């Protein structure tokens, strides 16, 4: 892996008038422990401008960044030395949650794929094929989904991390320690 990780934009909301979204990358600096594991100092996420200057909406699901999900709004700053925009602070949530899984048993890929589709989730898979960054939309019954994921984790098939849970998902069965 190189000195940065880059996530690709995922689906989600349609864009009015059929025009493609104009997306920009923003660097989200990683804490030292995460950076060592990811072998990257920052994860660059796709964003789009909002009507407020220096605020952007995240347009993909992070593999490493904690506390941010698809659709969330963040404040950024221009880092002239690095020649890029850098995350400054969280502004507001969009109701989506981010859950990451590590595939430990390749036989579980198809069943997990089917389960996520049934729940109405989208996801991105890293280049190794083992790390999945899952976007859990607001309408998903996360408590039921979490039970299914924990069953697979208990069987040693996957590992799970709740990267960011929206308020509604926390209230209906998520873990409080992943508050934004």
3-state secondary structure 90-147: EEECCCCEEEEEEECCHHHHHHHHHHHHHHCCEEEECCCCCEEEEEECCCCCHHHHHH
Note the pLDDT tens digit of each residue in 100-120: 999 999 999 999 999 999 999
Note the pLDDT tens digit of each residue in 51-96: 999 999 999 999 999 999 999 999 999 999 999 999 999 999 999 9
* DSSP helix/strand/coil, 170: helix
pLDDT of residue 29: 93
Q: Taking the mean position of all CA atoms in its chain, how far away is CA 78?
A: 23
* DSSP helix/strand/coil, 150: helix
In angstroms, the CA 55 to CA 49 distance is 7
Q: Which of 95, 22, 10, 26 is nearest to 65 (CA)?
A: 26
- Entry pTM: 0.83
145 neighbors 119 (Cβ within 8 angstroms): yes
Average pLDDT, the chain: 87
């Amino acid at each position: 892996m190189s000195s940065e990780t880059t996530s690709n934009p995922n689906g989600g909301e349609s864009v009015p008038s059929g025009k493609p979204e104009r997306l920009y990358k923003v660097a989200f600096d990683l804490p030292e422990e995460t950076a060592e594991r990811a072998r990257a100092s920052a994860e660059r996420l796709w964003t789009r401008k909002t009507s407020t200057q220096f605020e952007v909406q995240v347009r993909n699901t992070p593999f490493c960044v904690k506390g941010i999900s698809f659709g969330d709004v963040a404040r950024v700053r221009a880092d002239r030395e690095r020649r890029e925009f850098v995350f400054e602070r969280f502004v507001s949530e969009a109701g989506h949650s981010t859950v990451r899984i590590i595939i430990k048993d390749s036989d579980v890929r198809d069943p997990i794929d089917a389960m996520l589709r049934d729940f109405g989730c989208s996801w991105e898979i890293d280049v190794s094929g083992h790390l999945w960054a899952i976007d859990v939309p607001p309408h998903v019954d996360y408590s039921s989904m979490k039970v299914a994921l924990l069953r697979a984790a208990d069987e040693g098939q996957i590992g799970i991390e709740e990267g960011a849970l929206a308020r509604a998902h926390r209230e209906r069965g998520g873990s409080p320690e992943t508050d934004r």
